[in-house]
Structure 1
Amino acid sequence: MTFTHLPGVLGEICRRRLADVAKLRSRPLPERHAGPVRSLRTTLAGPRVGVIAEIKRASPSQGRIADLDAAATAELYQRCGARGISVLTEPHWFQGSEADLRSARGQVALPVLRKDFLVDLYQVAEAWSWGADVVLLIVTVLGRRLPQFLEAARKRGLEALVEVHTASELRWALECGADLIGINNRDLHTLKVDTQVTLELVAHLDRPKGLVLVAESGYSQPQEIRQLEAAGIHGVLIGTSVAGDADPERTLRRLVRYWES
């Protein structure tokens, strides 16, 4: 797959990641030294919506967001009560790296998500080698190749957060057996955010037993998370609203304890 069918910045990112993999795939990957995989599904199983806090320096829609030390930021997020850490590893648009993931994973006891644009199965093995516990699989990107990537992740013992944006993508993720699904409110083609997307997709969803749902993009207020709880959402991924805040600790604590505000 060359991703020439994907327009705009999404297509550019995927083609660039494919070129990155072509340069790296002959390099032998080191063994994993991060210890057993930690389960994000388990940490999100509590009665309240769990926050996955993101280490995010930049994005195509926001530009430069923050200068972050990955280890210190991960430790702060854990101290504030986050139930998982998301680490951007895409280097060109998001200024992430392998080093960020390794640093964050070594600093906390929480599950760590490798958030990137996975376009080749090599990247699943790469994520395992780096110490990730969860990989992001974007249905808009992978389409009919999703089952291959799910199988590759499971063979490594990794969990997969399968990201969808439309009803048809959600149906396909469920058909493929995804048990951890993220609903992205951001349209990756236009980069526009509409937080009604999550609420609309889950409103009439026939949920298989054990399905864990995560809402992604656009959340910054406790009342928004209370609304997600009422809709039966298990987790929420918080990125720019914390990473780019002047007082990330205060902001994250308010979101983690959303029911008190």
Structure 2
Amino acid sequence: SDGSWALRLGYPAPVADFTLSHMLGWRDERLAVIADLKRTSPGRRLGELIDVRKAMMVRPALDAAFALGARAAMVSTDRIFYSGSPEDLAEASAHVRGKEQVLGCGLPVIAKDIVVDPLQIARAACLGANAVLLIAGACPQKLPSLLDTCTVMGVEAVVEVHTADEARLAGESGASLLLVNERDRETGELVVGQAISVAAALPPDATCLAGGGVSMIEQVRDLRAAGYDGVVLGRPLAAGGGDELMRQISQELWQQRLAEPIQLNIKGKAHGARGDGAGWPGSALKP
């Protein structure tokens, strides 16, 4: 009930959770892949839902994503657009905690919802999320306070933006993890190249991800060259074509590691000479 979440808001977390930041490779600049686990997705027309993977089961989907080398997973609690639920988040969090005991490393779970109220963040924290997705376009005026709530609750915030103005707002509000979505949530349109256009407006010290329509290795290369630290894959993984794409990304990382010169991208980050190229224990991202 809302009462229990409101009660949780009154008790700051004793420690902050930086599992997501660590697994996104903030120390060694490794390219990260985040799996977006969803059963349905909003279409271009009002009320339209696209069947992504209607019969998705949370635990097998998580296992498959991490086996392919994903460094984190988004799990939706939204019932209307993504056919998710709070129960999905609780199940995912419990499952990865069990995996952590076996693998010895954290497997971060990001709660995905249209967050407009601090109670939603408190609920996500109680259900075991390591991080919460905040969509800047859905809460522009509340974004600073929602970021503060994430800090108090001990979870990280991934701020989703679509435009340069939203990217600047996120930076000014103190966001350190940003996701540029090439899909316009207002229209449902996929704006190819939007992430590259927005890259110059991203905070230089932030960890930046790109998503929305990423399905080919050429897109990943372009995003990496523009300074992105990771990509979010949803439909390619659900459709069964993710194995080949993840293999190609793994190969790119290995070749990049062997490259001698350090190439500076437009955000001023050095890519190509650091990082071990390794993924999860036993994952496809091991060279």
Shift of residue 30 of structure 1? 9.5
Shift of residue 165 of structure 1? 0.9
**Could you tell me how far apart the structure 2 residues matched to 1:27 and 1:43 are?**
31
Shift of residue 97 of structure 1? 1.0
Shift of residue 93 of structure 1? 1.9
Change (3 A) 1:252 1:115: farther
Confirm or deny: 8 A CA contact 2:2 2:119 kept in the other structure.
yes
1:49 alignment counterpart: 31
**Could you tell me how far apart the structure 1 residues matched to 2:248 and 2:212 are?**
14
Change (3 A) 1:96 1:206: closer
Change (3 A) 1:157 1:83: same
Paired residues in the alignment total 232
Q: 5 Å matches for 1:240-251?
A: 240-243=235-238, 245-246=239-240, 248=242, 250-251=243-244
2:167 counterpart of 1:185: no
2:201 alignment counterpart: 205
Shift of residue 247 of structure 1? 5.3
2:52 counterpart of 1:65: yes
Change (3 A) 1:206 1:89: closer
1:13 alignment counterpart: none
1:175 alignment counterpart: 172
Shift of residue 153 of structure 1? 0.3
Q: TM-score, normalised by structure 2?
A: 0.74
* SS in structure 1 of the partner of residue 139 of structure 2: helix
1:178-224 CA distance string (max 9 Å, x none): 1111111111111001231110111x337443x10010211011221
**Could you tell me how far apart the structure 2 residues matched to 1:215 and 1:206 are?**
12
1:6 alignment counterpart: none
Shift of residue 258 of structure 1? 5.6
Q: 2:226 aligns with which of 222, 231, 252?
A: 231
* SS in structure 2 of the partner of residue 182 of structure 1: strand
Confirm or deny: 8 A CA contact 1:80 1:256 kept in the other structure.
no
1:254 alignment counterpart: 247
2:141 counterpart of 1:144: yes
**Could you tell me how far apart the structure 2 residues matched to 1:134 and 1:228 are?**
23
**Could you tell me how far apart the structure 1 residues matched to 2:126 and 2:152 are?**
13
> Partner letter of residue 215 of structure 1?
A
Change (3 A) 1:69 1:29: farther
Q: 2:76 aligns with which of 72, 88, 92?
A: 88
Confirm or deny: 8 A CA contact 1:53 1:238 kept in the other structure.
yes
Query: Could you list the runs of 5+ residues in structure 2 that have no partner in the other structure?
Result: 9-14, 44-48, 97-105, 256-287
> Partner letter of residue 168 of structure 1?
D
Shift of residue 235 of structure 1? 1.2
User: Percent identity, aligned pairs only?
Assistant: 32
Shift of residue 100 of structure 1? 1.4
**Could you tell me how far apart the structure 2 residues matched to 1:228 and 1:208 are?**
15
Shift of residue 166 of structure 1? 1.0
Shift of residue 138 of structure 1? 0.8
